[in-house]
Amino acid sequence: MSEQLQPVETGSAKPSIYVEGLTIDFALDSAIFNRQHMRAVNDVSFILKAGQALAIVGESGSGKSTCARALCRLFEPSAGKIWLQDVDINEKKNQMKQLDFAKEVQMIFQDPFGSLNPVHTIRHHLARPIKLHHPHVSGDELEQRVIEIIERVGLSPARQTADKYPHELSGGQRQRVAIARALAVGAKFILADEPISMLDVSIRLGILNLMEDMKKDGIGFMYITHDIATARYFAERTAVMYVGHMVEWGNSDSVTQNPQHPYTQLLISAVPEAGIRRSKEKMAKKADIPVWKPDSQGCPFASRCLKATDQCREAMPPVTQLAEDHFVRCYLYES
Amino acid sequence: MNHATKPLLEVRDVCVDYVTDTGNARAVNQVSLEIRPGETLGLAGESGCGKSTLAFAISNLHNAPALISEGEILFEDRDVLKMNDEQLRQFRWNEAAMVFQSAMNSLNPVITIGSQLIDVILAHKKVTKQEAWARGEELLETVGIHKSRMTSYPHQLSGGMRQRVVIAIALVLRPKLIIMDEPTTALDVVVEREIMDELYELKEEYGFAILFISHDLGLMGEIADRIGIMYAGKLVELGDAEDILYRAKHPYTRGLVASFPTIHGPKVRLEGIPGSPLNLLETPEGCYFQARCSECMDICLSRDPELITVQQAPLRQVACHVVEAEEVSA
């Protein structure tokens, strides 16, 4: 599957994160024998490129956050490989030190009220990662860097902001501090897990636009969201996940304007849009979202899909390429 | 919609204050609006704009430190704020029911769905427990849940199912008005779609009016006949849903509409609204939106714009000096 995800770019020196066949199982109980597992992420492959954003779209429980956590090494993959540039990050013999890895890949969390320490100033939040990752920086230079970063994320006046505590800032401002913290480290990749879903509607766009500007500086994003409209707005490429499987991916415009997988079609038809009262046509069967087990078979969407056949219940469909940058895993399109 | 019909609910110059040690925060500031029978009025605005506070005021549900300091709320000509406890008890749920934001928190976790459903019936109607139970089962089926679920506990249901149960409980007594405070915010988009479709069908069947509170203007545009936009406790614009979404006059409304990337249509860079929402304890002189407004004039810094009616039928109201100046010159 990997070659379909990575358009050949020989000689390109740009950094990237390359994920192949990522699978993550969680134990459901603590039994010693016959322990039950659930498969949160199953055979997921993608590539994050410098200066670009990849959106991972899906409902709660689709495994999108688990993917991000595996990428910043909070979870160990059960199978599959993750390369940061040319280094397999989970390979023991060339295992990078956590600090070196964290310098490259940082995460922004959903809740800006929970992700900053309430007893420290903004200056502390930003100076600490700089000191940690660049020990030679200190004194005036450190202060200078902190102020620069605060300005870069659009918080002004910078000096006053540096002296503030998190509770003195609004949600949007706090999220900017969280982004600033990733910048302070000098991260080349930012994994943003629903970075705007808890913010006031009028300031969400400001955060998205800030991240958009950061792409121009070569920072690559993984943008996790359940809002497919913002995925199209912010990300060059979009991958749709359902119960731990990537079901459709490619260029964001192709995926959102010309969705092919029945699940993507359902997802897009569900997005509320002013002035459009839906047709009564049912898009999917009412059924519970399955819990995926390592021995589960078939397409995870088969239980809800109106077009499902026996084949769909037996094995996961292979990848079909629909356009230059548009892939789907569904028997409907198998050539 | 017949515009001559008498309003079901009239909110007149209502103010709600939160009394704090550092002063009063006026969460709802001189808001007036009306809802006609069978109509869906949307109330939109960001967190802290007072939309939920206003919803609570309509059922007179506020407790200290919240205080309804001014105004009247007329439900079919009876002032909700002057009702005694017994009248209020009769009014609530019989005539105006409420669906709260997180269904997870509004159901009692240690009591079965069935008991909670019939509790409402038994409290308001003189029926036997068996009759109430049968009615409860019937209602559960109307919202698309099998009646065997009557004996389930809330944690055994998914988020979407719990929200359906809460809607069923709101419908129990066939109220004329249902206040829905962000009914689908905590749900996934596909589940949200199912609930909204269900709601359209129920509305057709029962014909209740809805006060629909949300920050999602897309959703609002789908369900609401008319939309009111609130900012920092004030109603800044009110009009037909289409007018608000496509021909907004107030700079805040325009900014809000432009804050939602769309799934279809051209992909352009949107700018949203600069700055942060207003702290209600530090309100400025003049227009509350001045610091974030791109069209701010001198007068906006000193005089608070009044809500003026720019069009009678359908009613269109805007509170903005810029619009006022345009209206005068036009």
Tell me the pLDDT tens digit for each residue of A249-271: 999 999 999 999 999 999 998 88
Contact (CB, 8 A) for A88 and A82 = yes
Q: What is the mean pLDDT of residues A285-303?
A: 86
Per-residue model confidence (pLDDT) at position A241: 95
Contact (CB, 8 A) for A248 and A254 = no
Q: Kindly state whether residue B180 falls inside one of the protein's structural domains.
A: yes
Contact (CB, 8 A) for B204 and B235 = no
3-state secondary structure of B303: coil
Q: What's chain B's Rg over C-alpha atoms?
A: 21
Q: What is the mean pLDDT of residues A203-223?
A: 92
Taking phi over 0 as left and psi of -120 to 50 as alpha, with beta for the rest, A308 belongs to beta
Token pair of A295, please?
A: 């021995």
Rounded Cα–Cα distance for residues A61 and A48 (Å): 22
Chain A environment of B272 (Cβ under 8 Å) = 202-206, 209
Q: Which of A164, A173, A202 to mutate to test the interface with B (most CBs of B within 10 A)?
A: A202
Q: Is the pLDDT of residue A1 over 60?
A: no
- For chain B, the residue count is 330
Q: How far is A11 from chain B (nearest CA, A)?
A: 32
Q: What is the mean pLDDT of residues A76-103?
A: 78
Greater model confidence, B64 or A304: A304
In total, how many domains does chain B have? 1
pLDDT band at A9 (very low <50, low <70, confident <90, very high): very low
Rounded Cα–Cα distance for residues A150 and A148 (Å): 6
Q: What is the mean pLDDT of residues B32-43?
A: 94
Greater model confidence, A227 or A28: A227
Chain B environment of A228 (Cβ under 8 Å) = 189, 263
pLDDT band at A286 (very low <50, low <70, confident <90, very high): confident
Q: Kindly state whether residue B143 falls inside one of the protein's structural domains.
A: no
What DSSP element (H or E) covers B177? strand B177-181
Contact (CB, 8 A) for B228 and B238 = yes
Chain B environment of A209 (Cβ under 8 Å) = 269-272
Per-residue model confidence (pLDDT) at position B1: 47
B129-142 helix and B159-171 helix, angle to the nearest 10 degrees: 120
Answer whether B200 sits within 8 Å of A277, measured CB to CB: yes
Answer whether A201 sits within 8 Å of B259, measured CB to CB: yes
The closest CB to that of B221, out of A208, A232, A275, belongs to A275
Question: Mean pLDDT over all residues of chain A?
Answer: 87
Task: Give residue B227's domain range.
Answer: 9-95+175-276
Chain B environment of A233 (Cβ under 8 Å) = 261, 267, 270
Q: How far is A52 from chain B (nearest CA, A)?
A: 16
Number of C-beta neighbours around residue A69 at 10 A: 17
Contact (CB, 8 A) for A328 and A248 = yes
Number of CB pairs < 8 Å for A and B?
Answer: 116
Q: How far is A135 from chain B (nearest CA, A)?
A: 35
B85-94 helix and B113-124 helix, angle to the nearest 10 degrees: 130
Q: CATH code at B244?
A: 3.40.50.300
* Residue percentage of chain A with pLDDT more than 70: 91
Token pair of B255, please?
A: 């900014």
Q: What is the mean pLDDT of residues A230-235?
A: 94
pLDDT band at A329 (very low <50, low <70, confident <90, very high): very high
Q: What is the mean pLDDT of residues B10-36?
A: 91
Per-residue model confidence (pLDDT) at position B271: 84
Contact (CB, 8 A) for A284 and A266 = yes
Q: How far is B76 from chain A (nearest CA, A)?
A: 30
Give the torsion sign (CA, B190, B195, B201, B204).
Answer: negative
* Cα-based distances in Å from B209 to A324, B38, B168, B174: 50, 4, 15, 11
Q: What is the 3-state secondary structure (H, E, C) of chain A?
A: CHHHHCCCCCCCCCCEEEEEEEEEEEECCCCCCCCCEEEEEEEEEEEEECCCEEEEECCCCCCHHHHHHHHCCCCCCCEEEEEECCEECCCCCCCCCHHHHHHHEEEECCCCCCCCCCCCCHHHHHHHHHHHHCCCCCHHHHHHHHHHHHHHCCCCCHHHHHHCCHHHCCHHHHHHHHHHHHHHHCCCEEEEECCCCCCCHHHHHHHHHHHHHHHHCCCEEEEEECCHHHHHHHCCEEEEEECCEEEEEEEHHHHHHCCCCHHHHHHHHHCCCCCCCCCCCCCCCCCCCCCCCCCCCCCCCCCCCCCCCHHHHHCCCCEEEEECCEEEECHHHCC
Tell me the pLDDT tens digit for each residue of B248-273: 999 999 999 888 888 887 888 888 88
Answer whether A226 sits within 8 Å of B189, measured CB to CB: yes
| Of A225-234, B208-217, B277-286, the least confident | B277-286
For Cα atoms B66, B212, B184, give the angle at the middle one, nearest 5 degrees: 100
Q: Is the pLDDT of residue A4 over 70?
A: no
Tell me the pLDDT tens digit for each residue of B58-67: 988 888 888 8
Q: What is the mean pLDDT of residues B38-64?
A: 89
pLDDT band at A103 (very low <50, low <70, confident <90, very high): confident
* Beta pairing class for B40-44 and B209-214: parallel
Superfamily of domain A14-29+36-119+165-270+278-333 in the CATH hierarchy: P-loop containing nucleotide triphosphate hydrolases (3.40.50.300)
Chain A environment of B274 (Cβ under 8 Å) = 206
